[in-house]
Amino acid sequence: MPNEPANLLQGTLDLLILKSLALGQLHGLGVSRRIEQITRGTFLVKPGSLFPALHRMEDAGWLASSWGASENNRRAKYYKLTAAGRRQLESEVGEWKRIALAISFALQAT
């Protein structure tokens, strides 16, 4: 069932949020849609996990937020990466690549 949304691996949500914001600022729903888009519909992030993560990451200093108007002129809170967030993204990407490589090696083993 390729269209069934997958469970997020522990720790991957942070990575996905950071990645989704790499190109510019987004509001909450935008982050959600962007993740859906860049994972080709594999991950659907619900508000119940999205908001706690956003706030936690903001507290950690990786994200900055501000209120602004959305595309159809509604009020929305926008998030963008801070310098620390960019560094965090880099290090998490590196880490992820290592894990992914290791897992694929493991699965290829006979």
Partner 1 sequence: MKRRDVDEEIQAYMDLLIAEKMKAGMTLDDARRAARLEVGGVEHIKEEVNDARKGALVETTLQDLKYGLRLLKRSPGFAALAILTIGLGIGANSAIFSVINGVVRKPLAYPNPHRLMYITSQFSQQHFDKFWVSPPEFLDYKDHTRAFSDLGAYLTTAVNVSDGDNPERVNAVFMTANMFKVLGVRPERGQVFTPEQDVPNTEPVVVIAHELWERTFASDPAIVGKRAQIQGRARTILGVMPRGFDLHDTKAQVWAPLGLDPSNRQNRGSHYLYLVGRLAPGITEGQAKSELQSFLKQWGQWAGPGPGPGGMNHVPNDSTHRMNIEPLRDEVVGNVRRALWVLQGAVALVLLIACANVANLLLARAEARHKEFAVRSAIGASRGRILRQFISEGIVLSTLGAILGLAIAFWGLRAILAANPGSIPRISEITLDPSVLGLTVVVAALTGVIFGLAPLLHMSEKSVTIAIKEGGTRTTSNAGRNRVRRALVTGEIALAVTLVIGAGLLLKSFRNLTSVDPGFTPDNKVTFGIVLPQASYPDSQRRVQFFQELSSKLEAIPGVQRASAMSGLPPFRQVNANDTDFEGYKYVPGSNMPIPNVDYYQYATVGYFETMGIPVKEGRAFDATDAAGSPVVIINEALAKRFYPNQDPLGKRLNPYLTRDTTWFRIIGIAKDVKQGGLEASVGTELYFNYEQLPRIVGFAPGQMNMILRTTRPLDGIAPAIRRAVKEKDPALPIVQMRTMEDVVGASVTRQRFLSMLLGIFAIVALTLAAIGTYGILSYIVTERQREIGIRMALGAGNNQVVGLVMGQGMGIAILGIVLGVLGAYALSRLTASLLYGVSPSDPLTYATVAGVIALVAAAACILPTRRATRVDPLEAIRAD
Shortest distance in whole angstroms from residue 7 CB to partner 1: 16
Shortest distance in whole angstroms from residue 75 CB to partner 1: 6
In what helix (H) or strand (E) does residue 50 lie, and over which residues does it extend? helix 47-59
Residues in contact with 74: Cβ distance below 8 Å, sequence separation at least 6, in sequence order: none
Torsional sign, CA 55, 61, 63, 67:
positive
Among positions 1, 40, 74, 107, the unique one binding partner 1 when judged by CB under 8 A? 74
**Is residue 64 close enough to count as binding partner 1 by CB under 8 A?**
no
Identify the three-state secondary structure at position 70: coil
Interface residue list for partner 1 (CB under 8 A)? 27-29, 46-49, 51-53, 55-56, 59, 70, 72, 74-77
